[in-house]
A and B are shown apart, each in its own frame.
Chain A
Amino acid sequence: MSKILIVAEHDGGKLNASTAKSVTCAAKIAGATIDVAVLAADAAVIAAEAAALAGVSKVLVVESPANKEPLAAVLAPQIAKLAAGYTHVFGPSTTFGKDVMPRVAALLGVSQVSDIMAVDGSHTFKRPIYAGNAILTVEAPAGAPVVATVRVASFAAAAAGGSAAIEKVDPGAALPSHTRFVSRSGASTGRPDLQSAAKVVSGGRALGSAENFKLIYSLADKLGAAVGASRAAVDAGYVPNDLQVGQTGKIIAPQVYFAIGISGAIQHMTGIKDARTIVAINKDGEAPIFESADIGLVGDLFKIVPELEKALG
Chain B
Amino acid sequence: MRRIMVGVKRVVDYNVRIRVKPDNTGVITEGVKMSINPFDEIALEQALRIKEQGLADEVLAVSIGPADTQQQLRTALAMGADRAILVQTDAAMAPLSVAKVFQKIAEAEQPFLTLLGKQAIDEDNGQTAQMLAALLDRPQATSCSKVDIADGKATVTREVDSGLETLEVDLPAVLSVDLRLNEPRYVKLPDIMKAKKKPLDIKSVADYGVAEGAAFKTVKVDPPPSRQKGIIVKDVAELVGVLKQKGLV
**A162-202 toward B: CB 8 Å interface, digit per residue (1/0)?**
00000000000000101111111111000000010001000
Query: With a CB–CB cut-off of 8 A, which chain A residues contact B108?
Result: none
Are B180's CB and A234's CB within 8 A?
A: yes
B53 within 8 A of A: no
Per the 8 Å Cβ criterion, residues 188-227 of B in contact with A are 215-224, 227
Interface-forming stretch among A40-48, A53-61, A205-213, A303-311? A303-311
Q: How far is the CA of A251 from the CA of B248 in the complex (A)?
A: 20
Are B130's CB and A136's CB within 8 A?
A: no
**A119-143 toward B: CB 8 Å interface, digit per residue (1/0)?**
0100010001111111111111100
Query: With a CB–CB cut-off of 8 A, which chain B residues contact A231?
Result: 179
Per the 8 Å Cβ criterion, residues 225-257 of A in contact with B are 231, 234-235, 240-242, 247-248, 250, 255-256
Are B121's CB and A130's CB within 8 A?
A: yes
**A194's closest neighbor in chain B, by CB?**
B161
Are A106's CB and B134's CB within 8 A?
A: yes
Query: With a CB–CB cut-off of 8 A, which chain A residues contact B221?
Result: 129, 134-137
Are B164's CB and A106's CB within 8 A?
A: no
**A8-33 toward B: CB 8 Å interface, digit per residue (1/0)?**
00010000000000000000000000
Min CB distance B236 to A, Å, is 5
Are A242's CB and B124's CB within 8 A?
A: no
B27 within 8 A of A: yes
**B14's closest neighbor in chain A, by CB?**
A267
Q: How far is the CA of A312 from the CA of B120 in the complex (A)?
A: 42
**B122's closest neighbor in chain A, by CB?**
A130
Query: With a CB–CB cut-off of 8 A, which chain A residues contact B133?
Result: 72-73, 103
**B28-45 toward A: CB 8 Å interface, digit per residue (1/0)?**
000000000000000000
Q: How far is the CA of A73 from the CA of B175 in the complex (A)?
A: 12
Q: A185-B164, A247-B121, A278-B230 are in contact. Are A312 and B130 (CB under 8 A)?
A: no
Are B216's CB and A140's CB within 8 A?
A: yes
Q: How far is the CA of A135 from the CA of B147 in the complex (A)?
A: 34
Min CB distance B186 to A, Å, is 18
Are A279's CB and B239's CB within 8 A?
A: yes
Min CB distance B242 to A, Å, is 6
Q: How far is the CA of A229 from the CA of B124 in the complex (A)?
A: 21
B237 within 8 A of A: yes
Min CB distance B94 to A, Å, is 5
Q: How far is the CA of A183 from the CA of B165 in the complex (A)?
A: 6
Interface-forming stretch among B1-9, B71-79, B138-146? B138-146
Per the 8 Å Cβ criterion, residues 281-313 of A in contact with B are 290, 292-298, 304, 307-308, 311-312
The one of B159, B169, B173, B234 that contacts A95, using a Cβ cutoff of 8 Å: B159
Q: How far is the CA of A130 from the CA of B242 in the complex (A)?
A: 33
A263 within 8 A of B: no
Min CB distance B101 to A, Å, is 13
Q: A106-B135, A223-B249, A295-B230 are in contact. Are A178 and B169 (CB under 8 A)?
A: yes
Query: With a CB–CB cut-off of 8 A, which chain A residues contact B95?
Result: 102, 111-112
Q: How far is the CA of A256 from the CA of B243 in the complex (A)?
A: 9
Min CB distance A125 to B, Å, is 9
Are A131's CB and B179's CB within 8 A?
A: no
Most B CB within 10 A of own CB, among A128, A180, A293 = A180
Are A71's CB and B20's CB within 8 A?
A: no
Are A76's CB and B134's CB within 8 A?
A: yes
**A16's closest neighbor in chain B, by CB?**
B161
B46 within 8 A of A: no
Are B224's CB and A277's CB within 8 A?
A: no
Are B180's CB and A72's CB within 8 A?
A: no
B63 within 8 A of A: no
Are A279's CB and B243's CB within 8 A?
A: yes
Min CB distance B240 to A, Å, is 5
B233 within 8 A of A: yes
Are A95's CB and B160's CB within 8 A?
A: yes
A107 within 8 A of B: yes
B231 within 8 A of A: yes
**A249's closest neighbor in chain B, by CB?**
B159
| Given A133-B27, A183-B165, A311-B236, 5 further pairs, Cβ under 8 A | A102-B95, A106-B130, A133-B17, A137-B222, A297-B235
The contact sample of 20 A-B pairs, CB cut-off 8 A, is: A99-B142, A100-B130, A106-B96, A106-B134, A106-B135, A109-B96, A120-B219, A124-B219, A134-B18, A137-B222, A139-B219, A179-B169, A183-B166, A241-B145, A241-B163, A242-B164, A247-B124, A248-B118, A277-B248, A290-B232
Chain A residues close to B by CB (< 8 Å): 11, 71-73, 76, 94-96, 98-103, 105-107, 109-115, 120, 124, 128-141, 176, 178-187, 195, 199, 223, 231, 234-235, 240-242, 247-248, 250, 255-256, 266-267, 273, 277-279, 290, 292-298, 304, 307-308, 311-312
